A and B are shown apart, each in its own frame.
Chain A
Amino acid sequence: MRDTFIRALTELAPQHPELLLLTGDLGFGVLNGFSARFPRQFLNVGVAEQNMSGLAAGLALEGHTVFTYSIGNFPTLRCLEQIRSDICYHHANVKIVCVGGGMSYGPVGMSHHATEDLAILRSLPGMLVFSPGDLWEAAECGRYLVSHRGPAYLRLDKSAAPATVQPWEAFRPDGIRTLRDGSDVTLAATGGILGEALLAADALAEEGFFCRVLSVHTVKPLDADTLIAAASETGGIVAIEEHAVDGGLGGAIAEALMEAGAFPPFFLRIGLRNTFSSVVGSQQYLRNVYSLDAAAIARTVSTRLRVSAPALA
């Protein structure tokens, strides 16, 4: 996802001389191509994320489109006040790129896991929040951000769902993609864990439960219409995210539905529950440990569906 995004940025950089890519001294082997081709549009600011974010605001106020790039929580939580007061309050044209969404950096440890970022970043006024689920979405989000003006957050996952794009499909930056249709339940996923949601939908289909699968690549603004439709047209809504259940995708969906008076027959949030991802292991292993893999998602959803429709049990 990271490489896909950088490729998109590299394609667009020549047409956008105002575009600058700032890194907090990360991206070895990833950013080299960009920095070699566009040395005047690239800046390694050192291991100093607060300064990177303040600089980005200053550069943006002078007319640049600035991308800040780092891993996990470094470009976000480490410098949250700079993002809030320098970038968002001034509506500065800064795009914050986190590589390593969720538990992408599995065995490296919890310091590198971004599991509260969606909740925190989406609470900032003016901030858009993107969390693509596959490579096409990652590239489209990247392209959109080059032309969009104003603050935005892009959360890139190491994992990605298999390509789901249809040849005729156009990316809607404020939309939710419906990847499969079904009426028993809606699985709404954000980020690379979309791949687990699709596999869970396969497993549930074998049990006779047909899922609508939504890819919520844009958490803010949230496409409420698609969710409201899902609330009335399917048997329940399940939010799936590699993130704390507090305030992330599940929270955002619940807010949108409650405010619209659209109450699905049931609502579940699948994510980390009041815990740090402190076990050592690969992203896939950790998904298994924290019941976020396809099998666990299918199990959780199936159990809930059997409560709703005991006749099927």
Chain B
Amino acid sequence: MDILILLIPLSLVIVGVIAWVMLWATKSGQFDDLEGPAHSVIMDDDTPHPPQDKPTPPS
């Protein structure tokens, strides 16, 4: 049981590290867009978008 005397403070330190990582992640914008990156990673955008100023054919 004596090992707990080491493990409990250690767990506190780990929680502190994880908390710091979480705060850093929030601050650096990891949570800003939870959906976009998931799509962008599988979207190979090979075909360029048509330029905006060309008139689209009237519908």
Binding between chains A and B: no
